[in-house]
Amino acid sequence: MAKQTHVTPRSLQVLRACGYHCQVVERIIPGMFIKKDLFGLIDVMAVKADEPGVLGIQVTTRSNVSSHFHKALDLPALKVWLAAGNRLVIHAWGRVKERLKDGSWSKVGRWKLVERPVTLEILDAMAKASMAQEALESSGAPQGAPVAPPA
């Protein structure tokens, strides 16, 4: 069994240091190791006096950021959340090894956060790209083949 990493407390620490009031909103189903996110996509909610709306945070490790991003894109609640004036950010945590003074690399890396915002513009761009891909596939053109511009 892989060693479990707890990255949510790291995100809470960063958010609080930036002046946010935050709360974990994912639930653990009693008797099972099943976590249920708010609306299927939010682990932590945060608010700040000088920023509009609520910030929803999906917390994960770097190795899982792509799957969490695509899972969020498939949820109808995401578009409603963003259209209501709220924001969503994916916090992706990973260990990064550093070069030491003697030129060697550290044995254990330091935790580093990468934030990936999810916006309505990103949703629209992904939807357009998906429709273009579907149109290309239905046209019968071989995948990877260049597409001639319309005349």
Span 8-97+107-134: which CATH code? 3.40.1350
**Angstrom distance (rounded) from CA 111 to CA 97:** 9
User: 10 and 22 in contact (C-beta within 8 Å)?
Assistant: no
Categorize the per-residue pLDDT at 67 as very low, low, confident or very high, splitting at 50, 70 and 90: confident
**Angstrom distance (rounded) from CA 26 to CA 4:** 17
More confident residue, 100 or 54: 54
Structure tokens that stand for 71 in this block: 């899972």
Mean pLDDT of the chain: 83
Give the orientation angle of helix 120-138 with respect to helix 76-83, to 10 degrees. 140
82-140 tens-digit pLDDT: 999 999 999 999 888 777 788 787 777 788 899 999 988 888 887 777 777 777 777 66
CA torsion sign for 15, 19, 23, 25 is negative
User: 80 and 72 in contact (C-beta within 8 Å)?
Assistant: no
Categorize the per-residue pLDDT at 3 as very low, low, confident or very high, splitting at 50, 70 and 90: very low
What predicted TM-score, i.e. pTM, was given to this entire model?
A: 0.74
In 43-141, which residue ranges form alpha helices assigned H by DSSP? 65-73, 76-83, 120-138
